[in-house]
Amino acid sequence: MDEFVNTRGQGSLGTATNSPVGDGNTMARTQNRPSVPHGVTADSGIPGSSAAASGVHASGLSESDRDFIREIYSAKNLDGTPFTLDQLQFLRAENVRDQERALRELGPGSSTVGFYREVIAAFDERIADAKSPMGNAIDGLATVLVDPRANENDRRKKIEIALNVMKKEQLLGGDDPQKSAQAMGLICELIKQDGKEKEAALKALVDQEKRSPGSVTEEQFRKKTMEKMGVAREEAMLGIDDYETGTSSGLGTVIEVVNLVADRRVAKLKDLIAQEKRSKGSVSEQEFVKLVQAVIGDDRQKILWGVQDEGVTGWEPVIEVMKILLQRRRDAIDDLFKRQSTPGSGVTNAQINQAIDDYDTLKEQALRLGISAPNAREIPDQDPKVESGPPEK
């Protein structure tokens, strides 16, 4: 009879682990009736007490028995996730085996057998519910949540199925608020799991870059950052983001990436400046402009995020590059004037005007950055014969 002793422990059904299936020592098998002391059969009541005093009713089920059976309908794993269909079917099978043993030991009229009959009926209802469209969707969410092999794609498929079922039931007016809330709770947990994975992937890139500077490309950082931000937006929309505790939604790693990429660009811009000083004209204006735009963009992003610069700033090299480019354009204008003064050079006033316009455009950009620059030389009044083109015959 020891096999029938109740092992009801933590949780509604005595589950002492988060994965009760296959856990033979702590399985919620409803072994015997919760209210019956060890070694006493429910059929005889408690020696020395009347049935009413012992809490055992004529039906053979005590109020504690009935409470226990009622709890089957709402029982969950210790982590709060609902039992999966596989778990429910396993639990039912365990109780069927115990009922069969009670039949052999106590006979078909035993109230213990009746107790198991009620327990099995309760599991049957939960199993039927789990097989309904909404129940099946919830089961899919719960199963993929605890599956260590599941990836983001697996989780997203289950979320899509659940959302479609919820939408359909709402349209038909047959939605169950309790089940919808249960499904949304699981969806939130799955999205949190996605967030943790994205955080881990991004953190791995940061660690790699710190170990080996320059080993991670900007495209790799951009891709993982966008993935992380996408999940963070979902969490914010669902109200499950938690910036205070630095959990999966925390954007500390994203900010770290912003700083890493910005610092690399500043360093590269300084290298280009050094190269230009060593060999004048070796760096194209396009290279300078592209990198300057990126550095300025990083600075604006830091301002939007409220990120403080700690020693590394991109404005000093940006200003230096602007001065280099302004000087280049002034030199180009001077060169055009010099060449135009040579008969037959083919340099036209239109070419010079274009060069002056280009200089003025860059000068305006420099002024917006607080960089002053002198005016370009103007084309003096000239005899039309000086206009370019082949000499008159």
223 and 120 belong to one structural domain: no
Q: Give yes or no for a contact between 299 and 314, defined as CB atoms under 8 angstroms apart.
A: yes
Is residue 313 predicted with pLDDT exceeding 90?
Answer: no
DSSP 391: P
Is position 324 within any domain?
yes
171 and 224 belong to one structural domain: yes
> Which pLDDT value is given to residue 158?
93
pLDDT band for position 11 (50/70/90)?
very low
Is position 44 within any domain?
yes
6 and 114 belong to one structural domain: yes
pLDDT band for position 37 (50/70/90)?
very low
The closest of 340, 339, 336 to 358, measured between CA atoms, is 336
Query: According to DSSP H, which parts of the chain are helical?
Result: 51-54, 63-72, 85-106, 111-130, 133-146, 152-172, 177-211, 218-238, 252-278, 285-305, 315-340, 349-368
21 and 112 belong to one structural domain: yes
Q: What contacts 12, CB < 8 A, 6 or more positions away? A: 28, 71, 72, 74, 75, 76
The closest of 85, 74, 79 to 19, measured between CA atoms, is 79
298 and 363 belong to one structural domain: yes
**Last residue of a domain, which of 110, 131, 152?**
131
The closest of 189, 190, 260 to 224, measured between CA atoms, is 260
Mean pLDDT of 297-313: 71
pLDDT higher at 61 or 123: 123
User: How many alpha carbons lie under 13 Å from residue 241 in its C-beta half-sphere?
Assistant: 15
Q: How many domains does the chain have?
A: 3
Is residue 178 predicted with pLDDT exceeding 70?
Answer: yes
Helix axes 111-130, 133-146, angle to 10 degrees: 90
> Which pLDDT value is given to residue 385?
39
Is position 260 within any domain?
no
Is residue 159 predicted with pLDDT exceeding 90?
Answer: yes
Is position 392 within any domain?
no
Is residue 277 predicted with pLDDT exceeding 80?
Answer: yes
**Last residue of a domain, which of 250, 266, 299?**
250
> Which pLDDT value is given to residue 314?
74
Is position 124 within any domain?
yes
Residues in the chain: 393
Give the pair of three-digit tokens for residue 220. Answer: 């790799």
pLDDT higher at 103 or 46: 103
Is residue 390 predicted with pLDDT exceeding 70?
Answer: no
16 and 97 belong to one structural domain: yes
DSSP 385: G
Rounded to 10 degrees, the C-alpha dihedral 316/317/322/323 comes to: 80
Is position 258 within any domain?
no
Is position 172 within any domain?
yes
Mean pLDDT of all residues in the chain? 78
Is residue 6 predicted with pLDDT exceeding 80?
Answer: no
Q: Give yes or no for a contact between 335 and 288, defined as CB atoms under 8 angstroms apart.
A: no
The predicted-structure confidence for 339-352, as pLDDT tens digits, reads as follows 988 888 888 989 98
pLDDT higher at 374 or 293: 293
Mean pLDDT of 192-209: 93
Is position 228 within any domain?
yes
341 and 366 belong to one structural domain: yes
Residue with tokens 């060593």: 278
Is residue 361 predicted with pLDDT exceeding 70?
Answer: yes
27 and 123 belong to one structural domain: yes
The predicted-structure confidence for 205-259, as pLDDT tens digits, reads as follows 999 999 998 899 999 999 999 999 899 888 888 888 654 444 444 678 888 898 8
Residue with tokens 């870059």: 209
77 and 37 belong to one structural domain: yes
**What's the Cα-to-Cα distance from 25 to each of 19, 36, 74, 79, 101, rounded to whole Å?**
12, 20, 22, 19, 18
**Last residue of a domain, which of 69, 103, 131?**
131
Q: Give yes or no for a contact between 391 and 344, defined as CB atoms under 8 angstroms apart.
A: yes
117 and 61 belong to one structural domain: yes
pLDDT band for position 287 (50/70/90)?
very high
Instruction: Provide the 3-class DSSP secondary structure of residue 384.
Output: helix
Domain span at residue 343 reads 278-386
97 and 165 belong to one structural domain: no
Torsional sign, CA 239, 240, 245, 249: negative
User: How many alpha carbons lie under 13 Å from residue 240 in its C-beta half-sphere?
Assistant: 19
The predicted-structure confidence for 135-152, as pLDDT tens digits, reads as follows 889 888 988 998 889 999
119 and 150 belong to one structural domain: no
With a pLDDT cut of 70, the percent of the chain lying above it is 76
Distance, CA of 19 to CA of 16 (rounded, Å): 9
**What's the Cα-to-Cα distance from 181 to each of 33, 55, 160, 228, 231, rounded to whole Å?**
32, 37, 16, 26, 21
Q: What contacts 360, CB < 8 A, 6 or more positions away? A: 376
Is residue 77 predicted with pLDDT exceeding 90?
Answer: no
With a pLDDT cut of 90, the percent of the chain lying above it is 30
Residue 228, amino acid:
K
pLDDT band for position 276 (50/70/90)?
very high
